[in-house]
Structure 1
Amino acid sequence: MTEELSRADNDSPWKEILEAYFPQAMQFFFPETAALINWQRPHEFLDKEFQQIAREAEVGRRYADKLVKVWLLQGEEIWLLIHVEIQATSEDNFAERMFSYNLRIYDRFGKPAISLAILCDADPTWRPNQYNYNYPNTRLNFEFGIVKLLDYQNHWAELETSDNVFATVVMAHLKTQQTTKKLGVRKSEKFGLIRRLYELGLPEKDIRNLYRFIDWVMILPKALEAEFWQEFKQFEQEQTVSYITTGERIGYERGKEEGKQEGKQEGKQEGKQEQGQILVLRLLQRRVGELPQELRGRIQILSLEQLEALGEALLDFTTIEDLLNWLTAN
């Protein structure tokens, strides 16, 4: 599998963007369900609970699954199972798997779950939304909600005028699909989508989050990527802002060759350390949220050995206080 395909199938950017903007995702993709939820009460991602009911993913397939506890307007607690089907091809037993997850959630935790799926494939005819069987004395019909990203191609003008961040997510996904064999066009489309973030006047945090998603899914060959990065740096200079720096271009290796003298061990070590910093900062943001600049600075001066130790320890972090305690002890 090529480098581009292996990255494009990865679920990490979807999980990250869903966690960062879950209410907006629900309002964009499933407005009827979103209207039932009391968004004034905090929602909670139930990753450990989902791991207890989910089988190991089939080799070669990629999913982005989220089990989320929310509160209805009437005060009732309910769980949402959000599934993002990343794979580019359809799956025969998809509806059965959705039913199985729903049943296991109720069986293990005694909680009903609203099951919803976001289909990212390119097959316009594949639209699984129910699982059923029918016998003389027993019958079942399990239905779940789906959205097909491909359908938004016919609503491009609405995407361009939407103020929901997931309009940009869908635009990036569709442009990636449309430019599989037109990578020069992809470079232009990628630049246009990122420039649009600034033109919309979005807050810096939203620009960074959406930039990461676009940068991850709209993969370019190294030569075109170098051209894109130079054009982007020039654009930011013209905007008199610098939201995206080399060290913050997380997701996969990017620009770590800068300043490295090829073939020298010292340069290789610096590249590994920068890569470690990028990965640890990314994981920390997912675990405890946006980090203050002071904490980012303390992490960026850690040795490679300390970064590796922090990378293991942060799996148990739930708050910024956990990070502070670790930095104090180490």
Structure 2
Amino acid sequence: MYDSICKFIAIEFSEDIATWLLGKPISLTELKPPELSSEPIRVDSLIFLESDELVLHLEFQTSPDQDIPFRMLDYRVRLYRHDPQKEVIQIVLYLGENRSKLVNQTVFELSKTSHEFEVIRLWEVPPETLLQSKDLWSFAVLSQGKNRETILRQISQKIDEISDPREKSNVTASTAVLAGLVLDQDIIQRLLRKDIMRESVIYQDILSEGREEGREEGREEGREEGRHQEGVNLISRLLNRLIGQIPPNLTQKIHDLSIEQLESLGDALLDFKSEEDLQKWFEENSEN
């Protein structure tokens, strides 16, 4: 759920990311050489950014993973193969607070091999650090502090001051999604305007991905079945982002809906705050 948001922020606002992580506003562009994607290793969100002098390798993780130290070494070797001359800075950013010792690991060790990388636990970062730039506000709600609702309210007030509609909608949408890691949906929806979120590139990307999945299914299963699968994929993707992972029993109910019912659910779901709202919708709209 969170990988596309983090990648969007890192690529679109790379200079602010560099200022925060590297201490200077370096102009960075996305790096996508084939040797970095061959035999890909599973990761929540993996981004490579480069300048003339260095490569910034970022991994955003929602939870600990014991394979991360090895992954850092593996990608460091791939980056060396790509360009032996460039400095490489590798940073793992943990989004959700976790007490596992894995979130403190910064070294991979194997016999005579040792490789170091950096780790940032967002819940230990002072919110003031992230509130200095509007392009980092989305991460601020995950930062240090006991009252994250207060932080989200501060972000909401700052968002209201953004004059550019596109920028405003993107910051709103990315903040809403990341806030879902630490706050209830009713709080998020009370503080952030859904109508602004709908206009964001991020929200449109969710819609586009759902439609594309449906088209792929449709090519194999026929036009009518494809339309239905497209609707199921789209509705499921949106619900997972708005109210969290949908349990199997409700997933099956969504799949059993007709195209007309899927359209009706699509109109209603942006007002949902919890799984109970989805259950209530089925009670009121599904055929007996």
TM-score normalised by the shorter chain: which range applies?
A: 0.5 to 0.7
Kindly indicate whether the alpha-carbon contact (under 8 Å) linking 2:169 and 2:199 is maintained by their aligned counterparts in 1: no
- For residues 189-225 of structure 1, the C-alpha deviation after alignment (integer angstroms, 9 at most, x for no partner) is 64542222224x4643432221111121223767x37
| CA distance, structure 2, for counterparts of residue 227 and residue 164 of structure 1 | 20
Cα distance change on mapping 1:191 and 1:253 into 2, 3 Å: farther
**1:173 and 2:142 are equivalent in the alignment:** yes
**1:204 and 2:165 are equivalent in the alignment:** yes
- The amino acid of 2:30's aligned partner reads E
| CA distance, structure 2, for counterparts of residue 203 and residue 22 of structure 1 | 19
| CA distance, structure 2, for counterparts of residue 94 and residue 191 of structure 1 | 34
Unaligned runs of 5+ in 1: 1-6, 73-77, 180-184, 234-241, 255-262, 276-330
What is the 5 A alignment of 1:148-187?
Answer: 148-152=121-125, 155-160=126-131, 162-163=132-133, 165-166=135-136, 168-174=137-143, 186=149
RMSD: 4.0
**More moved, 206-215 vs 121-130:** 121-130
Kindly indicate whether the alpha-carbon contact (under 8 Å) linking 2:7 and 2:46 is maintained by their aligned counterparts in 1: yes
**1:30 and 2:11 are equivalent in the alignment:** no
Of 38, 49, 68, the residue aligned with 2:49 is 68
Cα distance change on mapping 1:271 and 1:93 into 2, 3 Å: closer
- The amino acid of 2:156's aligned partner reads I
| CA distance, structure 2, for counterparts of residue 264 and residue 22 of structure 1 | 43
| CA distance, structure 1, for counterparts of residue 258 and residue 107 of structure 2 | 58
Kindly indicate whether the alpha-carbon contact (under 8 Å) linking 1:129 and 1:146 is maintained by their aligned counterparts in 2: yes
Quote the residue 1:216 is aligned against: 177
| CA distance, structure 1, for counterparts of residue 46 and residue 11 of structure 2 | 11
Quote the residue 1:298 is aligned against: none
Give 1:120 deviation, angstroms. 2.3
| CA distance, structure 1, for counterparts of residue 4 and residue 124 of structure 2 | 23
Quote the residue 1:314 is aligned against: none
| CA distance, structure 1, for counterparts of residue 91 and residue 158 of structure 2 | 29
| CA distance, structure 2, for counterparts of residue 47 and residue 194 of structure 1 | 38
Kindly indicate whether the alpha-carbon contact (under 8 Å) linking 1:191 and 1:228 is maintained by their aligned counterparts in 2: no
Percent identity over the alignment is: 11
Q: TM-score, normalization: structure 2?
A: 0.58
Q: TM-score, normalization: structure 1?
A: 0.52
Cα distance change on mapping 1:22 and 1:49 into 2, 3 Å: farther
| CA distance, structure 2, for counterparts of residue 132 and residue 95 of structure 1 | 8
| CA distance, structure 2, for counterparts of residue 118 and residue 163 of structure 1 | 18
| CA distance, structure 2, for counterparts of residue 18 and residue 178 of structure 1 | 26
Quote the residue 1:194 is aligned against: 156
Give the 3-state SS of the residue equivalent to 1:68 in structure 2: strand
| CA distance, structure 2, for counterparts of residue 17 and residue 151 of structure 1 | 20
Of 200, 215, 232, the residue aligned with 2:193 is 232
Cα distance change on mapping 1:269 and 1:206 into 2, 3 Å: closer
Q: What is the number of residues matched between the two proteins?
A: 215
Quote the residue 1:132 is aligned against: 109
| CA distance, structure 1, for counterparts of residue 120 and residue 11 of structure 2 | 18
Kindly indicate whether the alpha-carbon contact (under 8 Å) linking 2:127 and 2:143 is maintained by their aligned counterparts in 1: no
Of 88, 97, 100, the residue aligned with 2:71 is 97
Give the 3-state SS of the residue equivalent to 1:253 in structure 2: helix
Give 1:84 deviation, angstroms. 1.5
Q: Which segments of structure 1 move beyond 6 Å, counting only runs of 4 or more? A: 270-273
Give the 3-state SS of the residue equivalent to 1:27 in structure 2: helix
Kindly indicate whether the alpha-carbon contact (under 8 Å) linking 1:121 and 1:150 is maintained by their aligned counterparts in 2: yes
Give the 3-state SS of the residue equivalent to 1:173 in structure 2: coil
- The amino acid of 1:145's aligned partner reads E
What is the 5 A alignment of 1:6-85?
Answer: 7=1, 10-31=2-23, 34=24, 37=26, 39=27, 43-46=29-32, 48-52=34-38, 54-55=40-41, 57=42, 62-72=43-53, 78-85=54-61
| CA distance, structure 1, for counterparts of residue 199 and residue 262 of structure 2 | 16
**1:120 and 2:100 are equivalent in the alignment:** no
| CA distance, structure 1, for counterparts of residue 261 and residue 33 of structure 2 | 39
Give the 3-state SS of the residue equivalent to 2:38 in structure 1: helix
Give 1:99 deviation, angstroms. 0.8
| CA distance, structure 1, for counterparts of residue 266 and residue 29 of structure 2 | 37
